[in-house]
Amino acid sequence: MIRLLRLLAQLLFLVIVALASALISMRFAIHGREVAVPDFRGMTPNEAERAAFDRGLELSRADHFYSATVAAGRIVSQQPEPGTHVRRGWRVQAAESLGLQLIDIPALLGMSPRAAEINIRRHGLEIGLSAELPTEAAPPQAIIAQTPSPGAQGVASPRVSLLYAAPLPEPAYAMPDLTGMTLADANGLVASSGLTTISVTALRSDPYSPSAARANAAALAASTVVGQTPAPGTRVTPGTPVTFQVSRT
């Protein structure tokens, strides 16, 4: 019995040693594949690409910024920051300096999108973000704001973002429930809402035929609305066609 316990203790010790060795090996293997990101700032793109390759990293140049401290054509910023530990094969994003801002930001307010685009590119700039704002203060598609503002100095990016005027959205509302109203009252509400009645159908159970109802405008106006299209609660806008089904009360 004592011998069996000794054997079990020895086996447990060997298992613990094996697990500890595996964990230590895994830790070294993981950290062995990590590298510290070098400082690419101030390097030329070629120098930065070589430095990245030597560390097993990739360098991606995807942006440009003005800088008063970094000469044009050199790396001005990077992500991740220098010293960050990453896996080999990691792609580092780098931005290239355009040097000092020597280009004036043009005034684009009131221009059309096409004229603004031509003006921006003529100044050696790029088109940034675009957005629309519904307003009656300017014709549709006219530029009503820009970033940076005209003549701005000390800007970081060569991109100019634009805000265009857009038509005001057409008013919309929920179709009311007109059943139970007289046709005259329902037509009045429809007309005041900007909708258009296009047809009125008398139900077959109506003692008056449709032709007789048309001949007697007063009787038709006094008829009760028992059905409608669009249905109550449907989203409608001015000009939406409306049809009624009526029955003589």
* 8: exposed, middle or buried (Cβ count in 10 Å: 0-12, 13-18, 19+): exposed
Q: pLDDT tens for residues 182-231?
A: 999 999 999 988 888 888 887 754 454 555 545 566 777 888 999 999 99
Query: What pLDDT score does 10 carry?
Result: 65
Query: What pLDDT score does 29 carry?
Result: 47
Contact yes or no for 143/116 (Cβ under 8 A): yes
Query: What pLDDT score does 216 carry?
Result: 65
Give me the CATH code for the 113-166 domain, please: 3.30.10
What does pLDDT average to over the chain?
85
Q: pLDDT tens for residues 73-113?
A: 999 999 999 999 999 999 999 999 999 998 999 999 999 99
**Residues with Cβ < 8 Å from 151, sequence gap 6 or more?**
104, 105, 107
Query: What pLDDT score does 148 carry?
Result: 95
Please say if the pLDDT value at position 12 is more than 90.
no
Confidence at 130, pLDDT banded by 50, 70, 90: very high
Looking at the chain, the domain(s) classified CATH 3.30.10.20 span 30-100, 173-247
Query: What pLDDT score does 28 carry?
Result: 46
For domain 173-247, say whether CATH 3.30.10.20 is its number.
Answer: yes
Q: What is the percent of the chain with per-residue pLDDT over 90, rounded to a whole number? A: 61
Task: Tell me which fold the domain 30-100 belongs to.
Answer: Trypsin Inhibitor V; Chain A (3.30.10)
Confidence at 170, pLDDT banded by 50, 70, 90: confident
Phi, psi of 180 (to 5 degrees): 95, -15
Query: What pLDDT score does 30 carry?
Result: 47
Q: What is the 3-state secondary structure (H, E, C) of the chain?
A: CHHHHHHHHHHHHHHHHHHHHHHHHHHHHHHHCEEECCCCCCCCHHHHHHHHHHCCCEEEEEEEECCCCCCCCCEEEEECCCCCEEECCCEEEEEEECCCCCCCCCCCCCCCHHHHHHHHHHCCCEEEEEEEEECCCCCCCCEEEEECCCCCCCCCCCEEEEEEEECCCCCCEECCCCCCCEHHHHHHHHHHCCCEEEEEEECCCCCCCHHHHHHCHHHHHCCEEEEEECCCCCEECCCCEEEEEEECC
